[in-house]
Amino acid sequence: MGPRHLLQTAALLLVQAAPQRKASQYCGHLEYWNFDNKCCSSCLQRFGPPPCPELQDLESQPLSLLLDELEVLEELIMLLDPEPGPAGGIAYGTTRHLAARYGLPATWSTFAYSLRPSRSPLRALIEVVVAREPSASLGQLGAHLAQLGRADALCVLSKLG
């Protein structure tokens, strides 16, 4: 029995002895099973938001610019205005969550989503935010998307830069 065989055997024993860490079926998007507390915990709280691309060039650009850039807006609508799943579940990091970050009540989100498919909730949100807060910037939108863990939407937003 050579040293290589002993190493392989030791590695196999270590793997078998290690506790199996499987994702819980009860944890949601951007959550992990915390074995210490025996509950779901937020990935964002533990690891922070995902790294952002884009955004120094867009930091001071007005949010209203997005209403003029239809290609980018349409891509964001596809990402952030999802249809409810087959069980009627709500995805995480959608326009509903952005609306809450901008201080709009849940009733506004319900109304905005009731207007689909003729009207995009994201477009309605941007129009409301620009009307209420003309100084709102793309950088602020980018920060909200990062906090929601939407790196995919940040990449789309970076196309404006």
Read off the pLDDT of residues 90-131 as tens digits, 9 standing for 90 and up. 567 889 999 999 999 999 999 998 888 889 999 999 999 999
Tell whether 41 and 110 lie within a shared domain.
no
pLDDT for the residue numbered 132:
96
Boundaries of domain holding 24: 20-49
pLDDT tens-digit series, residues 147-160: 888 888 999 999 98
Please state the rounded mean pLDDT for residues 56-69: 90
The span from the CA of 156 to the CA of 161, in Å, is 10
Q: Is the pLDDT of residue 60 over 90?
A: no
Tell whether 41 and 70 lie within a shared domain.
no
Instruction: Determine, yes or no, domain membership for 14.
Output: no
Identify the weakest region by mean pLDDT among 63-67, 86-90, 138-142: 86-90
Q: What is the number of domains present in the chain?
A: 2
Phi and psi angles of residue 54, each rounded to the nearest 5 degrees, phi first: -100, 70
Tell whether 45 and 83 lie within a shared domain.
no
For residue 52 the two structure tokens come to 């952002």
Instruction: Determine, yes or no, domain membership for 78.
Output: yes
Instruction: Determine, yes or no, domain membership for 135.
Output: yes
